[in-house]
Structure 1
């Protein structure tokens, strides 16, 4: 599976309006549920907040990968958002987060879920890749950047 198979250009938010962690989760969940009929925004947000209570998904270097498993979802789905100003996501390094990949996977798909998380974390460890994502001026440019750095996982 590749990221291009689970991320659609319509699931990208060029400039998040959120001012805090909950706002980011709400915006990313809403764009995802608009394109995925098996998801309910309120239920998805509850799943994500529950996961965040276990520990922040802010991995540092300006990146957060909120994620959760959801009953009724048949395949992994990603939405992506960027905050040009950055915001507190309680990241491991204590720094603001700018880039957010929301991953939702089927409830009983631990292997695919973990592989997708690892893939996203791996490509986002590349500082030049993060820089290009921050400098992209359109959703199409962001999408193409992600797809060009895509590999099978």
Structure 2
């Protein structure tokens, strides 16, 4: 499954304002709720915070992929956010995170959840892709960069 098949353009935020990890999780939850309006904000946030307690989802190189599993959904749901300033996300490399993919999966899903995490990681391992996402001027441009990268 491709990232753009899961990512609604409405769930892309080019200018995350949060300055702490917990604020980012809350703001990214709000971004996700733009396209997943039926979800309960507190349920989503609780799942994300619980996952972060197990260990940071900041994977390094300016990237974090907060994720979790939720009972009330039947398919993967994705949101993207960018912080120009960067946020301390307790990343493995100690560097601030600028690019955030938030992923929610149905509670029973294992395989597709892990494959999607791997697909996101692969996309953002490319320095050129990360640089273009950081330089993009709008959410629409960010979405288009992701879409084009998945078709090449």
Q: Distance in 1 between matches of 2:139 and 2:104?
A: 21
Moved over 4 A (4+): none
Report the alpha carbon displacement of residue 30 of structure 1 after superposing the two structures with TM: 1.2
Q: Distance in 2 between matches of 1:130 and 1:89?
A: 17
CA contact (8 A) 2:10 2:34 kept: no
Q: Which residue of 1 aligns with 2:24?
A: 24
Q: CA RMSD in A?
A: 0.9
CA deviation map 1:112-150 (0-9, x unaligned): 100000000011000010000000001111000011111
TM-score (structure 2 length as normaliser): 0.96
Q: Distance in 1 between matches of 2:2 and 2:88?
A: 29
Q: Distance in 1 between matches of 2:128 and 2:34?
A: 31
CA contact (8 A) 1:38 1:73 kept: no
Q: Which residue of 1 aligns with 2:36?
A: 36
Q: Which residue of 2 aligns with 1:69?
A: 69
CA deviation map 1:86-114 (0-9, x unaligned): 01000000010000000001110011100
Q: Distance in 1 between matches of 2:7 and 2:77?
A: 6
Q: Distance in 1 between matches of 2:32 and 2:53?
A: 21
Report the alpha carbon displacement of residue 38 of structure 1 after superposing the two structures with TM: 3.8
TM-score (structure 1 length as normaliser): 0.96
Number of residue pairs matched? 151
